[in-house]
Amino acid sequence: MNENKALQPTSIIIFGATGDLAKRKLFPAFYNLFIEGRMPEQFNIVALGRAEKDNDDFKNYIKENLVLFSRNQVSIDTEWEKFQSHITYFRHQIDEENSYKELDEKLKTLDNDYGIRANRLFYLSIAPNFVSIISGHLKNAGLAPNPAQDRIIIEKPFGHDKSSAIELNSLLSRTFEEEQIYRIDHYLGKETVQNILAFRFGNSIFEPLWNCKYVESVQITVAEEVGVESRGGFYEGTGALKDMIQNHLLQVLCMIAMEQPASLDAGEIRDRKVDVLKSIRRIPLDRVSHYAVRGQYGKGTLDGKDLKAYREEDGVAPDSNTETFAAIKFYLDNERWEGVPFYVRTGKRMKEKHSYITIQFKPLPQSTFIAGKHPLSQNKLIINIQPLMDIRLQFMTKKPGLTVELKPVEMVFDYFSCKEDTPEAYETLLLDALEGDLTLFMRSDQVEEAWDVVKNIQEYWENNPDPSFPNYAAGSNGPEQCELLLQREEHSWV
């Protein structure tokens, strides 16, 4: 059953269709949307690649990867046969004008097949340095002239600092209107991240407590067990600050800290996120070391396996100053969050993979149970993003028995207990792009403000190498200085 009959016919053009992202995420996402009736009734995925490939060989390649990466089991059945009929491999050279003329002819042929000028969704699954080249050729060939029908999806990183982000926004604006540009951050497509807004604004019991009067601190953690693996060359020019904090973690912070939107309109929600980014207190250059901690993993062990240091990874300089760990304390200068520290941290080669948000509520100012043998644990709200997917409210209760003893307990909403199969983040975001919903995509001013938030930290770290690197062992919880960041406020990581 097709639930998206209202969607216009759509041509989906994937630049870099033979790459890793396309095989692991994009084609599995489109396949899952298709078998669940979420794709337009008429669509075609035009897979662009430089290599000479037979169409059937490419489809077999896609099917093999669907078996590996799709959440839905793939077999030789009617669903696959139907889906593969919507895929066309098209040889294309990114920097050749003639290739875009041929692509234009192909898209016009598809329009004739549909019987209508179809929507066009261009997905740039390519290295960032090709964005300007493709954008220019799309303009020159007149491939995306209609703001109501033609859209472009761009992967992060969106620039490498504020000035480059402004330049890229300016370049894209010559070809596309802002409402055509979908700057994708897959983290915002995760089910647990999306649920933050529903949880906050759909429940009357939490929103009255969501402010500086009751919240002591907020922590956002994204820890990874893996190192840089085969991405050493890329990571050398990126680091944890740009790879994770500037986009993923700041976007999550916005969802935690934003004011209630007047409606679910994409512009309204994105306005409220920009308000948060503008309110984040900028850290002066001479105070970066007080508010931010960086780290780089050295040798270590995890589960009995020896792990090499970051500087020993392929593509990494032996004296690299690139951080693989970053922790920052932010303050928001607005009425709701005055004086509440927002701690964010991320790292590679950590002890365990775990992404979560902790809302730490203030202790009771006075209580019968505080003194003596009845210590109280502070109330916490924990939103687990991965690998756990749940929301936990921690509070105190009396132990069963004849004496009055207290213990902390949890109420848990677990996504894995739901019967519904949770979609992958890319499925959510691609469906939104097909439907023209910009809510979960970053606007140009969001991108520029996010870069501005980390601008001084980025500049200080680039110009002042850390002589202590490597300063944490692979398989550990990060550098010791990270604990001091919280201890100054008499806080600790949850």
- Model confidence over 19-52: pLDDT tens digits? 999 999 999 999 999 999 999 999 999 999 988 8
Residue labelled with tokens 């190498």: 465
pLDDT at 370: 56
Lowest mean pLDDT among 121-125, 180-184, 422-426, 477-481: 422-426
Q: How far is CA 373 from CA 173, 376, 378, 408, in A?
A: 65, 10, 16, 14
Please determine, for residue 149, whether its predicted confidence score (pLDDT) is greater than 50. yes
- Counting every residue, how long is the chain? 494
pLDDT band at 402 (very low <50, low <70, confident <90, very high): confident
Instruction: Summarize pLDDT for 272-330 with one digit per residue, the tens.
Output: 999 999 999 999 999 999 999 999 999 999 888 999 999 999 999 999 999 999 999 99
| Residue whose C-alpha is closest to residue 39's, from 12, 69, 71 | 12
Whether the pLDDT of residue 2 is over 60: the answer is no
* 230 pLDDT tier (thresholds 50, 70, 90): confident
What six digits make up the tokens of 237? 């020019």
Asked if the model's pLDDT at residue 1 lies above 50, the reply is no
CA distance 342 to 80: 47
Any residues with CB less than 8 A from the CB of 192 and at least 6 apart, and which? 383, 384, 385, 386, 389, 390, 391, 415
Query: Which neighbouring-strand residues pair with 294?
Result: 326
Residue type for position 134: I
Structure tokens given for 492: 């600790």
The residues pairing with 472 across neighbouring beta strands, listed in sequence order, are: 297
The residues annotated as belonging to the active site are: 248
Crossing angle of the two packed helices 444-463 and 266-279, in degrees rounded to 10 = 30
Handedness of CA 373, 378, 381, 386 (dihedral sign): negative
Task: Single out the residue of 342, 351, 348 nearest to residue 326, CA to CA.
Answer: 348
pLDDT of 3 higher than 60: no
- Report, as an integer, the average pLDDT of 384-405: 88
Residue type, 143: L
Calculate the dihedral angle through the C-alpha atoms of 223, 198, 341, 324, rounding to the nearest 10 degrees.
20
Nearest to 359 by CA among 402, 409, 386, 395: 395
pLDDT > 70 fraction of the chain, expressed in percent and rounded? 96
Average pLDDT value over all residues in the chain: 91
Adjacent-strand bridge partners of 280: 332
End-to-end CA distance of the chain: 46
Contact 165, 448 (CB under 8 A): yes
**Are 434 and 40 in contact, with CB atoms under 8 Å apart?**
yes
What are the φ/ψ torsions at residue 201 (nearest 5 degrees)? -95, 0
Average pLDDT over residues 158-163: 92
User: What pLDDT sits at residue 22?
Assistant: 95
Range in 189-203, 242-256, 297-311, 319-333 with the lowest mean pLDDT: 189-203
Q: Give me the half-sphere count of Cα atoms (radius 13 Å) on the Cβ side of residue 310.
A: 33
Q: Which two three-digit tokens encode residue 51?
A: 């290599």
Instruction: Please compute the mean of the pLDDT values over residues 260-275 and round it to a whole number.
Output: 93
Which of 325, 371, 337 has the alpha carbon at shortest distance from 493?
325
Q: Residue range 113-140: average pLDDT?
A: 93
- Which pLDDT belongs to residue 374? 59
Instruction: Write phi, then psi, for 266 (nearest 5 degrees).
Output: -55, -45
pLDDT in tens, 60-88: 999 999 988 988 876 657 789 899 999 99
What was the pLDDT predicted at 365? 75
Q: What's the confidence (pLDDT) of residue 367?
A: 62
Rounded mean pLDDT, 421-450: 93
Residue 351 pLDDT > 90, yes or no?
A: yes
